[in-house]
Amino acid sequence: MNTATALRDGQVIEAERQAGALQVRQESPVAVATNNEAASLIQAIAAAARDPNVDAEKMERLYGMHERIKNRAAEEAFNAAMNAAQREMGRVSADAINPQTRSQYATYGKLDAAVRPIYTRHGFSISFNEGEDAPEGYARILAYVSHSAGHTRTYKMDMPADGKGAKGGDVMTKTHATGSAHSYGRRYLLKDIFNIAIGEEDNDGNGADDDGAGDGQGTSGRPDDANKPPSEQSVLKRQGYEAANHGMKALTDWWGKLSNKQRTLMNSEFGLMRKQAGNVDRGAGRG
């Protein structure tokens, strides 16, 4: 058997294997027509591979056409499964409170428990990583959403990771800042990928209108607040919850810099701050 014959025999075997796989695997009704088209093309490829008069260039074109059809079928199956999964996903109730703004939000753990059984049942898996080329002082969080039909879609979000607070001061180490960026990034990406709505509001970024991207300078919303200078207690409270949003290490560092008088002012809030910091650290630990 010469090399050309062996190559053709290999093409025949591979084409027949793929044709059989397509007949067995029917990912969704939307992809059936495309799969039938791909199966017909594979049969044509198998026939062409057996014909010694068909040149290699034509075979390459046929295989290229087959790959495009196969990829299109996988993407259609992905989209159909995403539609089906989102139809099953309702609102997720908030399980944490930012006492600084009295806003409620759902932690990553609550979101994951609510949606993972649904999206895995529809053939999806999600993995996270850190990407390159993020802006200075940011971490680029990547989410790879893969479907059992073979299609993968990548989502990204850039999160602050410089360890700076609202006023530009250092509130955490770079290591903790990176962990916090990953924790927040995973939570926001999971919500965005499946278009998850929170039962109340999810605005734990201290006064933001865009789901936690604010600068920590929000007020209670009463008209008189805009003209009233903040008290020392309110300033400390804002700083404390801002530190807690970055984890227990940042909160402990902030607490250690307070005077005894300032700690007395914050005693009634410190327990809630610690709970907030604990939620952040547990979310970071899941990645």
- SS3 of residue 282 by DSSP: helix
Number of other CB atoms surrounding residue 30 within 10 Å: 16
Residues 6+ apart with CB under 8 A from 121: 85
What is the spatial distance between Cα 29 and Cα 109, in angstroms, rounded to a whole number?
A: 33
Spell out a b/e string for 252-270, using b for 16 or more CB atoms within 10 Å of the CB, else e. Answer: ebbbeebeeebeebbeebe
Where do we find the tokens 């908030």?
94
Residue 62 sits in the same domain as residue 204: no
* Residue 220 to residue 15: CA distance in whole angstroms: 66
Within a domain: residue 220?
Answer: no
Looking at the structure, tell me whether residues 169 and 205 fall in a common domain.
yes
Predicted confidence at residue 223, as pLDDT, reads 35
Residue 53 and residue 178 share a domain: no
In percent, the amount of the chain with pLDDT more than 70 equals 64
Per-residue pLDDT band for 274 (boundaries 50, 70, 90) equals confident
253 shares a domain with 116: yes
β partners of residue 157: 141
Report yes or no: 27 and 123 within 8 Å, Cβ to Cβ: yes
Q: What angle do CA 114, 144, 191 make, to 5 degrees?
A: 35
Beta strands in the chain (DSSP E): 96-98, 103-105, 124-131, 138-147, 152-160
Domain of residue 79, residue span: 3-88
pLDDT reported for residue 165: 62
Greatest mean pLDDT range, 98-102, 132-136, 232-236:
132-136
> What does the pLDDT look like over 103-152, one tens digit per residue?
778 889 999 999 999 999 999 999 999 999 988 888 999 999 999 999 99
Q: Would you say residue 247 lies in a domain? A: yes
Which of 61, 88, 115 is the last residue in one of the domains?
88
The last residue of one of the domains, among 88, 115, 131, is 88
Tell me the C-alpha distance between 262 and 271, whole Å: 15
Average pLDDT over residues 157-182: 78
For residue 31, pLDDT beyond 70: no
pTM: 0.56
The answer to whether position 138 is within a domain reads yes
- Is there a single domain that holds both residue 36 and residue 148? no
pLDDT digits (tens, 9 = 90+) for 171-227: 677 788 888 889 889 999 999 999 998 874 444 444 333 343 333 333 333 333 334
> So what's the pLDDT on residue 101?
61
Q: Are residues 149 and 48 in the same domain?
A: no
Q: Give Rg (Cα) of the chain.
A: 27
Burial of 64 (0-12, 13-18, 19+ CB in 10 A): exposed
pLDDT of residue 102: 67
User: Do 116 and 81 lie in a common domain?
Assistant: no
Count of structural domains, the chain: 2
* DSSP symbols for 66-129: HHHHHHHHHHHHHHHHHHHHHHH---B---EEETTTTEEE--HHHHHHHHHHHHHHTTEEEEEE
Res. 163: pLDDT tops 70: yes
Q: Are residues 262 and 151 in the same domain?
A: yes
CA distances from 39 to 14, 16, 18, 42, 205 (A): 13, 9, 8, 5, 51
Contact by Cβ (8 Å): 68, 30 = no
In a shared domain, residues 41 and 102: no
